[in-house]
Amino acid sequence: MRTTGIEFVLYEPKHFGFEHAVHAAQIAVNSGLRLAHTKLKKTENDQYIRVLWESTPERLVSANSINIESQETHISLNQDITFYAVSDLKYPFTERTRANDIDFVFSFRAYPDSIQIVEGYVGNVGGNQRAPAARLLFTIAKLFFERFKPEYGWLDFSYKLHPTALKKTLKTRRIQELYWTTFFGNGYVDHYGPKFFAEAPVWNTNIMAESGVILQLSSDIAPAREVGSGIDKVIDYFTSVGLKYVSWPKNVWLKKTS
């Protein structure tokens, strides 16, 4: 069975640091995940099985923080923090071995160009597990959006293209790219007005008073059955504000017009 990853990336959060990563870990737990690594353990028969290693949010986040400063990446302890979680989408938590669990990874990361991001990733997702995994990741991303108040973000399959010219996009507030779920901070709402987003021809618009707007193009991630005239309406609506790319359910680059 072909598997793929799903991820979200939230850019330039207003709250960024170790204590916020701990809060993020607690959000993941409250959303139904279990903070844990799955590690290989050798049995008496010289075979390896995957078992859980888990701890509290504070200890697990601390144990997985990167405590280095690289001359190439300029990443230090407070700038790159990662924690891991597993879900019971395949097996219940009571099982000792977790050979096929769906694994989640969450990171607070800073790059040399001063862009800060909060990201979440779920891998090893195939078949009918994609939609529930995406919905769970969306639940967490939405709570992160409310808590950390980023400028912009998206959620989609991990092989989708990342936003281009990000700094310029954030500065001008142009909406150049849309994903299955796209997050727009309050700067975008102030720029375009709530009515612009409320009237967008998308599956769902969630206007949140303190953090911004969330647009979803469809009920489930990349559902081929929903592709049709809807995508044309989305393209027509957002072309005037700079739309160049739509990821639904496959990469669609808009042709330049004179």
pLDDT tens profile 161-192? 555 557 777 888 989 889 999 999 999 999 99
- Looking at residue 221, what is its pLDDT? 84
On the question of pLDDT at 4 being above 60, the answer is yes
Highest mean predicted confidence (pLDDT) among 17-31, 50-64, 131-145, 239-253: 131-145
- Looking at residue 164, what is its pLDDT? 54
On the question of pLDDT at 91 being above 70, the answer is no
User: Across residues 236-253, what is the average pLDDT?
Assistant: 80
On the question of pLDDT at 241 being above 50, the answer is yes
User: Across residues 15-24, what is the average pLDDT?
Assistant: 84
Mean pLDDT value across the chain:
77
- Looking at residue 216, what is its pLDDT? 94
Lowest pLDDT segment from 41-45, 63-67, 154-158, 198-202: 63-67
Residue 127 and residue 139: Cα distance in Å, rounded?
Answer: 20
Closest C-alpha to 78, from 52, 110, 106, 54:
110
